[in-house]
Amino acid sequence: MSKKPLILGIETSCDETAASIITENDKGIPTVLSNIISSQVDVHKEFGGVVPELAARSHIEKIDWIVEKAISDSGKKIEEIDAVASTAGPGLIVCLSVGLSFGKAFASAINKPFIAVNHLEGHALSPKLNSHLNYPYLLLLISGGHSQYLSVQGLGKYKRLGTTIDDALGEAFDKTAKLLGIEFPGGPQIEVLAKKGDPEKYDLPKPIFNKGGCNLSFAGLKTAILKIAKSIKTEQEKFDLAASFQKTVEEILNKKTKIAFEEFEKENKLKEKVFVVAGGVAANKKIRSALINLCEANNYKSIFPPIELCGDNAAMIAMVGLEKYKLNEFNTLDYPAKPRWPLDEKAAFLKGAGVQLS
């Protein structure tokens, strides 16, 4: 039996320092042997958002022992590692540079190949860590910096069907939380508050709901919340606003996902219709159940990463590394950090992001 690849993944694109060792079993199913994540919430809390310089400094302080712990927790030895995969973008350049340089140096020291990974591709492939997934599939990527519908044709092959024309969905959750006086990072707290509120209390706008295909827009929603938040007097009103916001997001995603289904089906001959939701916001249970119901009604199989792998982690980076390793797709040690690195480069550089709103 041939040795299964053992991949070290490293992630430092924003405010999580993470390292992971993964391999695959005899049936080719990926197996996570260790997954270490150190969040910097305490570093950035007092500033109400991520401060790049402080984030980079914290990555530098922690990266050594995070990688060491990932290796020791995996029960493997350094010399058994077959390749090192680091996030090269997109993200904060000062942060990316830490994990990227560390990964290159590590690969060079153990004389093994180095693989540069797109963080968004990590999210895109994260469901492979617990589910069998064939190409093509429709992906909704909803994170702190991105909100996109993508037709995923294969490793590195993405066609963007829709994107946000302003704020990302995670950003809308975070900004709403801030307006409600919730401490950074507030996005996940909205889900908690919403449970105690009346989702019908406030009628919030749904920007570009009836136009723009499956493109998204959340900035108008945030402005409406800003106005209402100023007049809020009781805790109950706060819960109601959180619940109304979350319900509005569910309605927007329901409508736009149906359009994305149609566009995806037009583009692909499908044996099986698969819809994957990934990125930090995919951890939201209300959004998950709304999209699961939509999939059931439209004959789609819905796939989500496990909740703990929705946010930033290095297992998803190692997952891309594993797929690239099997295809001998390695990178040289002069590979640059790419603060901007869209999955569908053609769409990203279209004038006005190529979004038709009429």
- Give the residues lining the site for ligand KG4 (CB under 6 A): 143-145, 170-171, 173-174, 185, 187-188, 191, 279-281, 283-284, 311-312
- Pick what 170 binds: Zn ion, ligand KG4, none; C-beta below 5 to 8 Å, kind-dependent: ligand KG4
How does DSSP classify residue 196?
T
- Of 167, 174, 312, 344, the one binding Zn ion (CB under 5 A) is 312
Separation between Cα atoms, residue 111 and residue 107, nearest integer Å: 6
- Pick what 283 binds: Zn ion, ligand KG4, none; C-beta below 5 to 8 Å, kind-dependent: ligand KG4
**Could you tell me the smallest distance in angstroms from the CB atom of residue 87 to ligand KG4?**
10
- Pick what 12 binds: ligand KG4, Zn ion, none; C-beta below 5 to 8 Å, kind-dependent: none
Separation between Cα atoms, residue 337 and residue 340, nearest integer Å: 9
Residue 235's identity, in one-letter code, is: E
Tokens standing for 200? 């019908």
- Cα→Cα distances 251→12, 136, 214, 217, Å: 33, 26, 13, 13
- Pick what 173 binds: ligand KG4, Zn ion, none; C-beta below 5 to 8 Å, kind-dependent: ligand KG4
Q: Measured at CB, which residue is nearest to ligand KG4?
A: 187
Among 67, 65, 56, 77, residue whose Cα is nearest residue 12: 56
Which single residue is written with the structure tokens 């995919």? 282
- Pick what 282 binds: ligand KG4, Zn ion, none; C-beta below 5 to 8 Å, kind-dependent: none
How does DSSP classify residue 79?
G
- Of 17, 20, 58, 143, the one binding Zn ion (CB under 5 A) is 143
Binding region for Zn ion (CB under 5 A) out of 106-114, 201-209, 214-222, 306-314: 306-314
**Could you tell me the smallest distance in angstroms from the CB atom of residue 284 to ligand KG4?**
3
**Could you tell me the smallest distance in angstroms from the CB atom of residue 308 to Zn ion?**
14
Which single residue is written with the structure tokens 């617990």? 130
Among 30, 15, 7, residue whose Cα is nearest residue 106: 7
Query: Do residues 290 and 254 touch, judged by C-beta distance below 8 A?
Result: yes
Binding region for Zn ion (CB under 5 A) out of 44-52, 91-99, 180-188, 309-317: 309-317
Measured from the CB atom, the residue of 22 and 50 that comes closer to ligand KG4 is 50
Binding region for Zn ion (CB under 5 A) out of 96-104, 137-145, 262-270, 282-290: 137-145
Q: Which residues contact 300 (CB under 8 A, 6 or more apart)?
A: 138, 261, 273, 274, 275, 294
Measured from the CB atom, the residue of 162 and 279 that comes closer to ligand KG4 is 279
- Residues 288-323 as b or e (16 or more Cβ within 10 Å = b): bebbeebbeeeebebbbbeeebbbbbbbbbbbbbbb
* 284 contacts Zn ion (rule: CB under 5 A): no
Tokens standing for 193? 């508050």
Binding region for Zn ion (CB under 5 A) out of 20-28, 33-41, 180-188, 305-313: 305-313
Which residues are near Zn ion by CB under 5 A? 143, 312
